[in-house]
Amino acid sequence: MTYSSYYEYSTLINFVRIMTKSKPVESYNLYEACELITASHPVFLDELHEKLDSLNTLDEDEIVKLAAADTGNPRKNTPLTFEDVLEGLTHLATTGVLEVTEIIESLHSEILLRPFGRFSEDYLTRWQGGLTRQFYNGMRHIVQQVGTGVTETNVKLTRKALRQYSDRVLPDTLKQLVNVVNGIIGDHLITQNSPLALPMIIYDRYGQPLGNPISGRVVLLSHGLCLSYLSWHPCEEDSLGENIALALPKTTVLYLDYNTGKRISQNGRRLSQMIQELIEDNPDITQIDLIGYSMGGLVSRSALFYAEQERLDWIDRVGNLVTIGTPHQGAMLERIGYYVLDVIGKVPFAASLSKMGNIRSAGIIDLRHGSIRDEDWKYLKQRDVLPEEFRHPTSLPRHVRAFFISGSIVEGVYDSKATNLVGDGLVTIESALGEAGDFHTLYVPEGHKGIFYGVNHINLQYDSRVHQQVIQWLNDNGKMDSALMPRIESFVDDDIEVVV
């Protein structure tokens, strides 16, 4: 089944959800679901049947997995509990063994076939029906059965031993560890319907899922890869969120928590839907500002793109977009990793080991070129993204004031390619400022760009100079015409101010 057919299918099930307004469509036979809307909407029935007949047949498990991959954890949208983590870790151990089994079998087939010149598509097809393949299938079946039994046993023991704690949210340290796991293999967790897969949740300043009514101006902070909303250090005096709340007392500061292992475009779509629901539940919200650190900036841009494409109301209330160390044009580390795995894949007897690179999450793969649209990956058969020259350009909404911040581990201004490539250690200066030739350049005014020297990628979100600059932009809120001003150059020594 191709990605394109799944997205046609996804469109259909969303349509059926709207028309039936009843239970999740995964529990329907789709033809029965269509019959439910015949009486009130007969004009759509023939078209729906034609569409369904054109799609490949899916079994129930595949439907649930695909729906989960597109919408997030389908079971709940509440913080994970101790029970979820224990069940998820047991499930993860089982799937880890299965992944290793796949790599061992691939290596085994290469060792047996390559020396005889039979490592070809024809002989690999024969391998699929041979005794060795049956042996590995047996191993996989045993591991799955044992894993299921262990998981059920652990859940029963957990419910007895931690009955009073099972509904409590995780402590901060464990919460951050879960976010790291999701960042590395989050899309696998969703596909396997693991309890460890994180849902997207918006938290308030006090670490509680948003539930109380809000009004006025709202600032939403989005974290980066493998991080969590706790990475912003909410409630601490020197954090960015608290500094914003202090400088803009009539502003509500919110924090986004999400699975960074998912496709960036999927997170962007989901964030767009959540903000739309937010303003529908809180119509007195007057302005929304988005602040994204690293991957969080890409997710914010993706949300803006889909809100504009789907003509959602919330985009009209967006005033400012601030990105901090965001790889708008891709991250060098993921590109290097991809090329290394590509080289390994061409080396005899080592090609099978390159499959280990496929374990990394789709979110990490999207960082290769800063891909924020479904079109950059959905038509590919493998977990990959389009090459840079075929990546779809994504401009910023014209009415949104965009501000880009880049870091540099160099403490002085050195106009050289090496300084740009090093950047903050993970993201180049050009990428963080959205500069990449005519086709993909994000045309942000020079006065809306800032380079902060002497700070690495990790410390960008904690740097006091960055905090002051972000607050200045938010406080100004478009009152001054800063577009014609030169870009900001900030140094460790505050007494030195140089504009290049």
Q: Are 287 and 315 in contact (CB under 8 A)?
A: no
Pairwise CA distance, residues 247 & 251, whole Å: 9
Amino acid identity at 28: Y
Q: Which of the four pLDDT bands, split at 50, 70 and 90, describes residue 346?
A: low
Pairwise CA distance, residues 469 & 490, whole Å: 10
State phi, psi for 285 to the nearest 5 degrees.
-70, 125
Q: What is the DSSP letter of 193?
A: T
Pairwise CA distance, residues 263 & 417, whole Å: 31
Instruction: Reply yes or no on whether the pLDDT at 202 is more than 50.
Output: yes
The reported pLDDT for the residue numbered 125 is 59
For 380, what's the count of Cα atoms within 13 Å in the CB-facing half-sphere?
A: 13
State phi, psi for 269 to the nearest 5 degrees.
-60, -45
Q: Where are the chain's structural domains?
A: 3-58, 82-168, 201-330+394-490
201-330+394-490 topology per CATH: Rossmann fold (3.40.50)
Q: Which of the four pLDDT bands, split at 50, 70 and 90, describes residue 99?
A: low
Q: Which of the four pLDDT bands, split at 50, 70 and 90, describes residue 118?
A: very low
Q: Which of the four pLDDT bands, split at 50, 70 and 90, describes residue 417?
A: confident
Q: Would residue 311 be called left, alpha or beta, if left means φ above 0 and alpha means ψ between -120 and 50 degrees? A: left
| Pairing between β-strand 201-203 and β-strand 251-257 as defined by DSSP bridges | antiparallel
Average pLDDT, the chain: 75
Q: Are 96 and 219 in contact (CB under 8 A)?
A: no
Q: Which of 9-13, 280-284, 366-370, 445-449 has the lowest mean pLDDT?
A: 9-13
**Stated pTM of the model:** 0.74
The reported pLDDT for the residue numbered 312 is 96
Pairwise CA distance, residues 425 & 249, whole Å: 35
Q: From residue 177, how far is each of 97, 183, 451 by CA, in Å?
A: 21, 10, 31
Amino acid identity at 280: E
Instruction: Reply yes or no on whether the pLDDT at 476 is more than 70.
Output: yes
Question: 334 or 63, which is more confident?
Answer: 334
Question: 399 or 118, which is more confident?
Answer: 399
Beta strands in 137-237 (DSSP E): 201-203, 216-222
Instruction: Reply yes or no on whether the pLDDT at 140 is more than 60.
Output: no
Q: Which of 59-63, 218-222, 488-492 has the lowest mean pLDDT?
A: 59-63
